[in-house]
Structure 1
Amino acid sequence: MTVRVGYFPHNNSLFVLRHRGILEQRIDVEWVDLRSLPASPEPDPTTGLPTLHSDWLFTEGGYDFIGTGFTPPITGLAQERDLVYVGVSGPRTENGRLVVKADSDIDSVAALKDKQVGIAHGSWQTTLLLFALDSVGLTWRDIVPVNTSVTDGADSFRSGEIDAWVGAYPGLAAVERDLELRTLIDTEGLFSHPSLWFTRRDFAEQHSEELAAIVDSLRESDQWIVDHPREAAEYFVRDVVDHGGDASLDAWEAAIRNRPFGIGPVTEEFLDEQQRAADLLHANGLLPRPVRVRDAFSPSNQTFVTS
């Protein structure tokens, strides 16, 4: 069979694997650029979450396997999608943080009440902001969330259109060069923020050889990234330029050097963290129903990442 693998730059491992030609040596694969798929209707960031990743995992012509950040599989489970986790990376706590300008009168997370906060809504940034608010007794309704892309968020933050921003590297590095910032809360100590990979339950049960080939290829490619971070960064810079933007090779290399690579097993600690996020998302009106994240845990899948 032809396995359709979804990829985009925000999952660094799959993005590099798509360019390395490793997986093609093991299985018949078709790469699906998530940016080429029709987007789900953008929800109001005060009341819902985007469902793009899980929508296309369960749509004919979509993909069979995907890697994302922390929040999308929770969204899929809330849409009653029968997805299962395959593996997770190590913590990516150096990837980003919640910041304001140094001269802002916002001096704490508690001071975000009624303020506009920029996030890539539906990504790990939603979870980070929600965890941060919960840590000081605030809810989603206490702030004004603004959905931004990485580029739009940086521009809106610079111009003062938003009061605070969950920035991620390498985009955050460019803002750091232009502005003096104050960190309201770091990712480290708040949540582990791993990359994670998931698939449909039927694919995991019926195509174990193909799934094992994907995991093996990711491991091989991730080791190449660790050994050749600057060469890996060139893939991302070239992609940004090809899409009409500007990118710093040094900034991308620094970001890659600070990220963990490798796919490991789903742990109890990860599931507990996902459940806490799911509970908070539902309590704050961002999910249509409660979620049990352990419904997406399949012990048989763990043989792929522990062997």
Structure 2
Amino acid sequence: MTVHIGVHPHNPSLYHLSRLGLLETLLRPLGEQVEWHRVGGLDTAAALADGRIDFGGTGSTPPLSAQADGHDLVYAAVSAPRPGHGALLVHSGIHTGIQTVEDLKGQTVDLAIGSWQTHFVSKLLSSHGLDYGRDITARRAGPSSADDLREGRIGAWVAQGAELFAARRAEAVRTLVEAGDVIADRSVFFTRRYFADTRPEIVGTVVKALQQADDRVAANLSEAAEFTAGDQGGTVADWYAALAVLPWRLEPVSDAFLAEQQEAADILAAAGFLAKPIEVAQIRHAGLDQAVTTELGVNR
């Protein structure tokens, strides 16, 4: 059998696992092979639902959207919280009019719409009496976002990874809010319910390999930064800084994580971002929790 894994380039654990050969080594004694598929974060749920991949990973928002859209997916594992991974940036000039979160009202905010960044911005606005759907213009971030911010064409930009560290070197940019001060900002890994029901040991093996990859990268940050810069662009120094702030630790699905996701789902549903309100606990899978807990060596 071949296990199909979706690789989202901005999911660090999956990205590095796909190049290290660790999962291939673990699956070989089980008579299994692995095939890697480049899948965008917003396409991961659909690729799981239609069987193109068996396992994928994104930030916090895509699995919520998938559940609201009726896809029968279940959580497999999550990363530890990622403080330092992302931030909301504004122009540093004192005359720009954006000194507080409340000043974002009426502004254009560039972000990766549908990703964890939507969760972050929605919760941030909600906690300051603002509404994601009504009080800002959310624009999909792109290659011009950094320049647009520096030149005053947008009010704010959510940046992450190496782009965040590159932007911070520009004198015209300052951090308004760190993402980690608002949300846990975890990587989230999930699979189809049928795959979890029938092959929980394979899912557990994939998670074990992900943790091995995390351990390898954490011990070899310079090599990982050089590889990523060569593959994705940016400088080695910025990638090193971006990788160094990540926790490189996976956790089983927990009550605390489900509470985080439920809070996010409620905020996103109220903002009109989700198709309908959802009960996050419905896509927890007890058998998968046990398999993943065993493979990660976690005492619960």
Query: TM-score of the superposition, structure 2-length normalised?
Result: 0.91
Residues 1:30 and 2:35 aligned together: yes
Q: Kindly indicate whether the alpha-carbon contact (under 8 Å) linking 2:65 and 2:275 is maintained by their aligned counterparts in 1.
A: no
| 1:83-114 Cα distance to aligned partner (Å, 9 max, x none) | 11011111112111112111121111111111
2:292 aligns with 305
Aligned partners of 2:8, 2:230: CA distance in 1, in Å? 13
- Greater Cα offset, 252-261 or 206-215: 206-215
| 1:195-238 Cα distance to aligned partner (Å, 9 max, x none) | 11000110011112321221111111111011111111223112
Q: Runs of 4+ in structure 1 displaced over 3 angstroms?
A: none
1:14 aligns with 14
Which amino acid in the other structure matches residue 293 of structure 2?
T
1:222-241 alignment runs, 5 A limit: 222-240=214-232
Aligned partners of 1:210, 1:296: CA distance in 2, in Å? 18
Residues 1:217 and 2:209 aligned together: yes
Aligned partners of 2:287, 2:281: CA distance in 1, in Å? 14
Shift of 1:296: 1.0
Q: Kindly indicate whether the alpha-carbon contact (under 8 Å) linking 1:51 and 1:76 is maintained by their aligned counterparts in 2.
A: no
Q: Kindly indicate whether the alpha-carbon contact (under 8 Å) linking 2:85 and 2:161 is maintained by their aligned counterparts in 1.
A: yes
Shift of 1:159: 3.3
Q: Kindly indicate whether the alpha-carbon contact (under 8 Å) linking 1:215 and 1:304 is maintained by their aligned counterparts in 2.
A: no
Which amino acid in the other structure matches residue 195 of structure 2?
F
1:131 aligns with 123
Residues 1:273 and 2:266 aligned together: no
Q: Kindly indicate whether the alpha-carbon contact (under 8 Å) linking 1:84 and 1:296 is maintained by their aligned counterparts in 2.
A: yes
The match for 1:65 among 55, 75, 81 is: 55
| 1:274-293 Cα distance to aligned partner (Å, 9 max, x none) | 11111111111111111111
**RMSD of Structure 2 on Structure 1 (CA):** 1.5
Aligned partners of 1:198, 1:178: CA distance in 2, in Å? 37
Of all paired residues, the percent bearing the same amino acid is: 37
1:138-287 alignment runs, 5 A limit: 138-140=130-132, 141-149=134-142, 151-240=143-232, 246-287=233-274
- Greater Cα offset, 180-189 or 220-229: 180-189
Aligned partners of 1:78, 1:156: CA distance in 2, in Å? 33
Aligned partners of 2:231, 2:151: CA distance in 1, in Å? 26
Aligned partners of 2:118, 2:147: CA distance in 1, in Å? 19
Residues 1:93 and 2:88 aligned together: no
Which amino acid in the other structure matches residue 89 of structure 2?
V
Q: Kindly indicate whether the alpha-carbon contact (under 8 Å) linking 1:97 and 1:185 is maintained by their aligned counterparts in 2.
A: yes
Gaps of 5+ in 2: 295-300
Which amino acid in the other structure matches residue 147 of structure 1?
R
Aligned partners of 1:33, 1:155: CA distance in 2, in Å? 28
2:47 aligns with 56
Which amino acid in the other structure matches residue 216 of structure 1?
K
Aligned partners of 2:119, 2:222: CA distance in 1, in Å? 30
Which amino acid in the other structure matches residue 19 of structure 2?
H
Gaps of 5+ in 1: 36-49, 241-245
Aligned length: 286
1:3 aligns with 3
1:43 aligns with none
Aligned partners of 2:39, 2:77: CA distance in 1, in Å? 20
Which amino acid in the other structure matches residue 38 of structure 2?
D
Q: Kindly indicate whether the alpha-carbon contact (under 8 Å) linking 1:9 and 1:236 is maintained by their aligned counterparts in 2.
A: no
The match for 1:79 among 49, 54, 69 is: 69
Aligned partners of 1:209, 1:274: CA distance in 2, in Å? 25
Aligned partners of 2:160, 2:129: CA distance in 1, in Å? 25
Q: Kindly indicate whether the alpha-carbon contact (under 8 Å) linking 1:113 and 1:142 is maintained by their aligned counterparts in 2.
A: yes
SS of residue matched to 2:251: coil
Which amino acid in the other structure matches residue 168 of structure 1?
Q
Shift of 1:8: 2.2
